[in-house]
Amino acid sequence: MRQATAFWVERPGSGALRVVPLGDPGEGEVLVHTLWTGISRGTETTVFRGEVPASESERMRAPFQEGDFPGPVRYGYLNVGIVEQGPPAFIGRTVFTLFPHQSAFVVPASAVTPLPDGVPMRRAVLAGAVETAINVLWDAAPLVGDRVTVAGAGLIGCAVARLARGIPGLDLTLVDVDPAKARVCEELDVPFALAEDAPLDRDLVIDTSGSEEGLALALRTAAVEGEIVEASWFGDRRVSVELGGAFHSRRLTIRSSQVGMVAPRRRGTRTNGDRLALALELLRDPGFEALLTGDSSWSELPEVMAAIADGSQPGLCHTIDWRDAE
C-alpha cells in the first residue's frame, strides 16, 4: 500500500509529521497530490494551542479532520493539489480541497473544486479566507456610500477590505495597532489608520481583530444606530464587552458572522459550494498576492506551526510547499 505524509497536532503546542497509509481511489473518488497548503492563523493556531472549547468541538470539525480536540488531531482546510487518478474529467486538473496538510489523499470527486483559469496555484490557498470574507460581507451588507471600518489587518480583515473596496462610494478604513500593516494596506489599495487614529461615526464596523481591544474600538467608533459585525473567533478566551456608557443611548447593534453556514441573506439561493466557487473566481485579482507573506517546505511544518502559534513568526498567510513530497 502506498503512503503519504501528514501533519498532526499531537497535543496542545506540539505537532509532528506522520506517515499514513494511502489507498487507491474507488468509483467516484480522486487521488490528489498536494502542491500547496496554507495555514489559517486564527483557527489553526487555536487548534494547535488546544483552545477549542469543548462546547464547540463538533461544530469546529474540519471536513476531513481525523482525531479529536485537543489531540492527536489532523486539522486544516486550505489545500491545492493536482488530480492524479479518478474520473477522466478530473485527471490532471489543479483543484482546491478542504483537506488538511498531507502530501496526497483520496476524497470523493465532489469534494474538489477545479481552479478557474488565471488563478495561480499558490494564490488559490487563499480560497478559504476569501470565502470567509464573502460571508462576512453578506452578513454585514454595506451600502453604497457607507462609512465602514474593518478592525484588524490580519488575513480575514485584509480579504474583507480588498473585496469591500469595490463598492461605489464606500468610505473604507482598515485599522490595526501595528504600523507595519500600513505596507500591506498600500499594496491592497485600502486606506490604513492606527487604532488611536481610527475614524469616528462609522455606519458599519467589522471586527476581525480577534482581540478585546478590537471590539472595544468598534463600540467606540460606531455611529448612532451603527452596526458592529463581530467576525473574530475567540476560542475558549473570555472577552469583556463594554455595554455601559453610551451603548444603549446610541442604539448600537452587535451581530456575529461565521463561515460555517452561508449568511442568512443568501442561504436560500447559495450553497457552500457556490460560495467557494465564487471565492476562487475572485482570486483572479492579483491584489491578493499581498496576503501571501511566507513560505516553507513541508518538512518544516511542525516548527513553522509552533512559531506561528506563539507569535514569533509574523505575517498573514504562510504557505507550505509539498511539490517535492513523496
What does the pLDDT read at residue 239? 84
Which residues of the chain form beta strands (DSSP E)?
Answer: 2-11, 14-22, 29-39, 66-67, 73-74, 79-85, 94-97, 104-108, 112-114, 147-151, 171-176, 192-194, 202-207, 222-230, 253-256, 292-297, 317-321
What does the pLDDT read at residue 25? 97
Residue 101, in any domain of the structure: yes
Please check whether residues 237 and 141 belong to one and the same domain. Answer: yes
* Euclidean distance between CA atoms 185 and 187, whole angstroms: 5
Say which CATH number the domain at 52 has. Answer: 3.90.180.10
Number of structural domains the chain divides into? 2
User: Which amino acid does the sequence have at 311?
Assistant: G
Residue 273, in any domain of the structure: no
Helical packing angle, 155-164 and 127-140, nearest 10°:
60
Please check whether residues 186 and 133 belong to one and the same domain. Answer: yes
Please check whether residues 148 and 197 belong to one and the same domain. Answer: yes
Please check whether residues 43 and 153 belong to one and the same domain. Answer: no
The 3-state DSSP class for residue 219 equals: helix
Residue 189, in any domain of the structure: yes
What does the pLDDT read at residue 104? 98
Please check whether residues 66 and 150 belong to one and the same domain. Answer: no
Please check whether residues 165 and 90 belong to one and the same domain. Answer: no
| pTM of the entire predicted model | 0.94
Residue 326, in any domain of the structure: no
Please check whether residues 291 and 314 belong to one and the same domain. Answer: yes
Please check whether residues 135 and 94 belong to one and the same domain. Answer: no
Q: What are phi and psi of 230, to 5 degrees?
A: -90, 105
* Euclidean distance between CA atoms 30 and 28, whole angstroms: 7
Residue 277, in any domain of the structure: no
pLDDT, one tens digit per residue, over 222-253 is 999 999 999 998 877 788 888 888 899 999 99
* Euclidean distance between CA atoms 267 and 272, whole angstroms: 9
Conformational region of residue 290, where left means phi above 0, alpha means psi within -120 to 50, and beta covers everything else:
alpha
Residue 261, in any domain of the structure: no
Residue 267, in any domain of the structure: no
Please check whether residues 6 and 109 belong to one and the same domain. Answer: yes
The range of the structural domain enclosing residue 15 comes to 2-118+284-321
In DSSP terms, 18 is beta-bridged to: 6
Please check whether residues 154 and 174 belong to one and the same domain. Answer: yes
What does the pLDDT read at residue 233? 80
Say which CATH number the domain at 236 has. Answer: 3.40.50.720
Which residues of 41-198 form beta strands (DSSP E)?
Answer: 66-67, 73-74, 79-85, 94-97, 104-108, 112-114, 147-151, 171-176, 192-194
Q: How many CA atoms lie within 13 A of 73 on its CB side?
A: 24
Please check whether residues 248 and 134 belong to one and the same domain. Answer: yes
Residue 222, in any domain of the structure: yes
DSSP 281: H
Per-residue confidence in pLDDT tens, the chain, 326 aa: 799 999 999 999 999 999 999 999 999 999 999 999 999 888 899 999 999 999 989 989 999 999 999 999 999 999 999 999 999 999 999 999 999 999 999 999 999 999 999 999 999 999 999 999 999 999 999 999 999 999 999 999 999 999 999 999 999 999 999 999 999 999 999 999 999 999 999 999 999 999 999 999 999 999 999 999 999 988 777 888 888 888 999 999 999 998 889 999 999 999 999 999 999 999 999 999 999 999 999 999 999 999 999 999 999 999 999 999 97
- Of 56, 53, 60, 92, whose CA–CA distance to 77 is shortest? 60
Residue 242, C-alpha cell as written in the block? 463594554
First to last CA, the chain: 14
Please check whether residues 107 and 138 belong to one and the same domain. Answer: no
